[in-house]
Amino acid sequence: DLRMLFAFAGAVAIIVVAFAVLRVRRTPVRIHAGVIPGAVLFGTGWAISGGCPAIPIVQVASGYLPAFVTIAGIVVGTRLCRWANTKYFHLDTGSCGR
């Protein structure tokens, strides 16, 4: 089923046209050191859970209590990431970190 692929491709096409119309210019910026491993972990989490992180909240609201396991995984994963960054990596978290 290619619906999700087509949805993402459509979104990319729309933003490309919008950027061209608005004449948005990219500024050369170094990629933050945590972007690649963060993207891999985030994508892996999506693949394992079968959906975006907002879905478990909807599932719990509709009475599907096993979604609490996914929510707990999100909370534990966030805390582990902050702990590992503080202890080992020392990556600049920018405006997202506290």
Residue 94 and residue 98: Cα distance in Å, rounded?
A: 9
- Give CA separation, 39 vs 21, 32, 45, 51, 63, in Å: 29, 11, 10, 15, 30
**pTM assigned to the model:** 0.54
Dig out the tokens for 91 from the structure.
């990556």
Could you tell me if 50 and 67 are in contact, meaning their C-beta atoms sit under 8 angstroms apart? no
Element (H, E) at 66: none
pLDDT per residue over 38-91, tens digit each? 888 888 877 876 777 788 888 899 999 888 988 898 899 889 988 988 899 887
- 19-44 average pLDDT score: 81
Residue 71 and residue 54: Cα distance in Å, rounded?
A: 9
Dig out the tokens for 21 from the structure.
């119309």
